[in-house]
């Protein structure tokens, strides 16, 4: 799913790792919003997406290397109608992302990328692989 969404962007998007989450097609929208925001707002030249399984969870990290997000903005980033900067949209994208991830029983947050940029982290329940006994 991540590879299909990544094809829609002008900036290079690399996908590393593998994980399977319990989610539906709305996860494509979640990734699309985060990748679109990275391309439009961060000034990054590339985005890396890292997929991994941590215990019973799937972790998706969308990493950009742009201007980053100030702490005061991080606190309100997922609020309804929050907009920031000259390229701001309606302020609904990340709000809907949060609602969808909540619906899956997951979590979404943003961290700093070192030395600069932002990393959006999504944690969802991973599917369980049954091992024959």
Looking at the chain, the whole-number percentage of residues with pLDDT higher than 90 is 56
What pTM, to 2 d.p., does this model score? 0.84
CB within 8 A of 73, min separation 6: which ones?
84
Q: Please compute, for residue 121, the number of CA atoms within 13 A of its CA located in the half-sphere on the CB side.
A: 13
Give the position of tokens 């972790």: 59
Looking at the chain, the whole-number percentage of residues with pLDDT higher than 70 is 84
Alpha-carbon 97 to chain mean position: 9
By residue count, the chain amounts to 133
**Mean pLDDT, the chain, as a whole number?**
86
Q: Predicted confidence band at 89 (pLDDT cuts at 50, 70, 90)?
A: low
pLDDT at 19: 85
The total of other beta-carbon atoms located within 10 Å of residue 55's CB is 6
Q: What are the structure tokens assigned to 94, written together?
A: 């990340």
DSSP symbol at 30: H
Q: Predicted confidence band at 18 (pLDDT cuts at 50, 70, 90)?
A: confident
Task: Please give the class, per CATH, of domain 2-125.
Answer: alpha beta
Higher pLDDT: 87 or 27? It is: 27
Q: Predicted confidence band at 130 (pLDDT cuts at 50, 70, 90)?
A: very low
């Amino acid at each position: 799913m991540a590879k299909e969404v990544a094809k829609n962007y002008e900036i290079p998007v690399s996908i590393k790792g593998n994980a399977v989450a319990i989610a539906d097609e709305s996860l494509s929208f979640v990734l699309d919003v985060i990748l679109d925001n990275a391309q439009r707002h961060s000034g990054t030249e590339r985005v890396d997406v890292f997929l991994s399984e941590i215990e019973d969870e799937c972790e998706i990290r969308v990493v950009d290397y742009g201007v980053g997000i100030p702490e005061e903005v991080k606190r309100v980033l997922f609020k309804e109608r929050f907009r920031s900067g000259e390229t701001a949209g309606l302020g609904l994208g990340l709000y809907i992302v949060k609602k969808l991830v909540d619906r899956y029983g997951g979590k979404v947050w943003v961290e700093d990328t070192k030395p600069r940029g932002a990393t959006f982290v999504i944690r969802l329940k991973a599917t369980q692989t049954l091992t024959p006994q």
